[in-house]
Each structure stands twice: as structure tokens, then as C-alpha cells.
Chains A and B, each alone.
Chain A
Amino acid sequence: MTHDHASKDIHPAGDNHPGDDLSARLDGQADDPARVEAHLAECAECAHRFRELKTVSDAVKGLPGPTVSDAFALRIAARIRRPAPRLRYWPAASGLLAAAATIVIIAAVVLSLRQPAPILTTTRAEDISPAGESALVADILLGADASPLDYGFPVPGDTPEISPEELILALSASGWFEDAAEAWEAETDIDELVQSLDQTQQMEFKRLLRTYEEGAQI
């Protein structure tokens, strides 16, 4: 009989030894606990091995855990209460749409704040300037009672009011994203661009960006 099992893979197995059931007995999960008990009463080698396994098991059970601060649950509560930006349509393309929407919002806000929004009377989509479109976007973002029809802007269906998703769809169809992105990229320095706005415009710009980040609009 040997008691030096630790350096080997040691669960006495075979016809007469319980093998992995020895370890499982510790957890009350042996396939045949009565057989293991009977074997332990007769086999000093397995009885010794069982005591060793129990010491290892107890040692791990006794390890202390880290202290959990009260702030832990509060931080999670804060995270789950903050709605994630979400698009209801086109879930597979939501990342692309979110990126496009960001361009729309930033460019629209900046463009609309830098120049007075023209009053558009045309009903022809090809006559609508990017600035006019940005005015529409800005009006909607600002909560104005805006209808794309007021701007002569084509939208899917004949709905008099427009949802953010419909707006993106319509803007995408008219190639507006490319125009806006080009206009945006022409301004090489975003800080410079923002600084060109007056204080009121900057505050409105930041408010709109914050609104977007909180997922309230799109």
C-alpha cells in the first residue's frame, strides 16, 4: 500500500476501486454511493485518498471572496436604466444606420445652425438642397411639427408625418448621406467647426448630441 499519490494521477480504479466515484462521493454525486462506502471501509488506500481529496476540497471551499461594495448594484442599475440607442427597423444594418444617422445629425445640426434654413416650396426632390434637408432634420430633432411634405421631400408612402426611420430611408434613397458626408469631411477639424458656432448654437449642438447619445431620438 502506498500513501504517496499526489504526484500521480491517483484515483485508484479498476474492478475493485471506485475511480472517479471517490471524488464524486465528496459531492454526494457518486453513481453507486453504497458501493463506495463499502469499499472505503475495506480499502485503506482509497480511504486515505478520500481524506486527501476532502482536504483539498475543504481548502478551496474556505477561500475568502472579495468584498462587494454597495455601489456595485447601483452601477448596474444605472447602466440598465440608460436605454441603448436602437433602431427599430433593419436590425441587421443597424450599425450602419446608426453611423449614417450620426453623420446626418451632426452635419444637419451644424449646417442648419450655420446658415438660416431656407423656406422650401418646391415639391421636386431634385431641387432640394442639402441645407434644406438638414433644416428638415434639424426641425424634427428640435421637436418642431415638421412634415417632409412641407419641404417637398419624398417619403415612402403618403404619411404626413415622418419617423426617424422613414427619414433615414428617404435620405438614403436620395443619396443625401453622401452629400452630407462630403460636406462634413470638407470641414477637416471638428473642433474648428464647432467653434465657428456662436454660444447659443454650440449649446444647442451639444444638447442634440446628448439627446442622440441617450437614444431618445433615433
Chain B
Amino acid sequence: MVSPEPASNRRHPELWASKGVLQDGSEAGNPAVDMQEWPLVERAQQGDTEAFTLLVRRYQQPVIHFCYRMLASAQDAEDVAQETFVRLYRYLDRLQPDAKFSTVLFGIARNLTLNHLRDTKRRGRGATDPLENHAGLAANSRGPDQAARLGEIQAVVEQGLQELSPDHREVLVLREINGLDYEAIARVLECRIGTVKSRIARARDQLQARIRHLGGDFI
């Protein structure tokens, strides 16, 4: 779980202007959230497409954000996220009440993003629009100087994140952006919790090194 420090301890409080993981601000990996989804899942399993659409609306932001951070292209992210939900719909019959909904969902998204990255690499095509909108997104309700500074920081962080290996990038995104705990990440990646723990530590090391290499002076 994300446990933010008091604002007074934050070196860059502006970076905590973090979006809610789900539309209602709760976290995708929270077991309580998963329990709430089951009535909707059961209705969807019985063919209620409205119930499934509610699930889509609830999880669309975190899934698209995950895909976006993995693929660095808003269009590709939306395409892959759409396919994720369609595949989830086809998988619904096999979902059991003891399964974590978000784990299944992010597992599908993760597999599809990795497939997409492999296909893109094979075709020799890189990310289409990396760092495309950080400045605009960062500028909301801040002064121009502060917004510009924040935009610079975010550009460097985004670039550093994109330079990580997919293995390191996915654990960081699932942890920092999607808010999944180590157990949930281990289920998504189908590995041990200890592997998640060490991989996140290595990923943070690597990202810090990349940010410094890119001239990020805030670390």
C-alpha cells in the first residue's frame, strides 16, 4: 500500500499531486476493492453488459495508465487497454470469487503490453509519441515557473522510466503508479514476492542512475 509521508517531509510535494489510482481514488491492488467488484463480476458473468461496462469505467484509468507507461504511446496504450478489457470479458466465466479481479486484469494488460513491445521491436518501430504531453498535464493550476519546473522533472523521470528494461519498468509502474502491493505484483508477474522486492529495489537504483545521467538535478 502507498503510505505517503507528511507533506512537510516531502522534498518535492508537487510530485504528490498524484491521480487516484481508481476513479474513486482507491487503489487497484486493495483486496477490499476486489471484494467490492464481485457483485459486478457475477452480474457480468450472467451476461449483464452494463455491469461489465461499470467495471471498465472503474478500471479504465489505471489500466490505460499502466499501458501508457509501458508503451509510451497514448494511442497504443488505449488500443492495448481496450483489448485487455475485451479479453477479460471472454475470461469472465473462469473467474472465481477467490481470484483478485485487479490481479487478473493487470495480468492480461501486462501480457498484452509485453507482446506489443516484442512486436514493435521486431518491426523496428519505437515508441511513437514518448513524453508527448507531460508539460500540458503538469501545468494545471500552477504558476508558469512552477509548472515549467515540474514539466522538466516529469520529462526526465518519464525518459528515465522508458530507458529501463521492461522487467524493471513494469514492477515500478505496478507499484508506484497502480499502487499494487508486493503480493499482488507477484501474482501479476507470476513470480515470488522476494523477486518482486529485489526487482523493485534494482529498478529504483536503475531509474535514479538514469535520471542523473539525463541531468535530473532534483535527486
Contacts and interface: CB of A to CB of B under 8 A. Distances in A.
Interface stretch (A19-27, A142-150, A206-214): A19-27
A72 B176 contact: no
B208 A76 contact: no
B19 A57 contact: no
Contact of B19 (A27, A60, A65, A79): A65
Contact of B172 (A7, A10, A60, A79): A60
Contacts of B219: 6, 52, 55-56, 59
B138 A77 contact: no
Interface residues of B, number: 62
B211 interface: yes
Nearest to B9: A54
B202 A9 contact: yes
A66 B76 CA distance: 12
B52 interface: yes
A186 interface: no
B204 A57 contact: yes
B197 A63 contact: no
B191 to A, nearest CB: 15
Contacts of B176: 57, 60-61
A80 B197 contact: no
B116 interface: no
A81 B82 CA distance: 14
Interface in A67-125: 68, 72-73, 75-77, 79-81
A58 B10 contact: yes
B15 interface: yes
A57 B17 CA distance: 13
B70 interface: no
B182 interface: yes
A27 B200 contact: yes
Nearest to B75: A66
B86 A64 contact: no
Given A51-B11, A72-B82, A77-B53, A56 B211 contact: yes
Main secondary structure of the interface of B (DSSP, over half): helix
B172 to A, nearest CB: 6
Contacts of B133: 64, 66
B213 to A, nearest CB: 9
Contact of B11 (A55, A64, A77): A55
A128 interface: no
A61 B15 contact: yes
B182 A55 contact: no
B45 interface: no
Nearest to B205: A9
Residue from A55, A63, A77 having most chain B Cβ neighbours under 10 A: A63
B201 interface: yes
B200 A73 contact: no
Contacts of B80: none
A167 to B, nearest CB: 27
Nearest to A7: B209
Residue from B11, B65, B197 having most chain A Cβ neighbours under 10 A: B197
B56 interface: yes
B30 interface: no
B80 to A, nearest CB: 12
Given A68-B61, A77-B53, A80-B52, A59 B211 contact: yes
A-B pairs, top 9 by smallest CB distance, nearest first, are A62-B15, A65-B65, A64-B137, A23-B201, A60-B176, A20-B201, A59-B157, A73-B56, A66-B74
13 contacts: A6-B209, A20-B197, A28-B3, A52-B219, A58-B12, A59-B153, A59-B219, A62-B16, A66-B68, A66-B74, A68-B78, A72-B81, A76-B86
